Amino acid sequence: MKNSMIALAIACSVLTPAALQAQARNATPDRRGMSQTEWTAHVRACSARYKSYDERSDTYAPRAGVRERCTLQGNSQGNPGRTSANVDRQGMSQSQWAAHVRACKARYRSYNEQTDRYVPRAGTTARCTLR
């Protein structure tokens, strides 16, 4: 009887994945010291990049696994996906770069134009070399 009471108490205290997601949705996002303009640009960039982006928790759902925090940043004008840091475009012209970005986005769902990288497997990133 005592063991079953302990097991019941433990079972009741464990949060299910759905409960954890609900808790994350209700949390106020940490704006990481961003101004309102920077935050708005960040939200626009994340919303444009991730269909599953949730502004309240500042997270998105990757293909497999637990929700992850969005780390994209827009520029001060609020344009999604454009930052002041220039990516090394490997000597490509504007039109070549645009074609490169389109090819990478089509091939890699996790492709990030700001860094010219994608996620081939959990915990790693690789530069997109498609032309």
pLDDT tens, position by position, 59-74: 888 877 788 888 877 6
Ordered by start, the domain boundaries in the chain are 15-85, 87-131
Exposure of 115 by Cβ count < 10 A (0-12 exposed, 13-18 middle, 19+ buried)? middle
Q: What is the pLDDT of residues 64-121, one digit of tens each?
A: 778 888 887 764 443 444 443 456 677 888 888 889 999 999 999 889 888 888 888 8
Provide φ and ψ at 36, rounded to 5°.
-60, -40
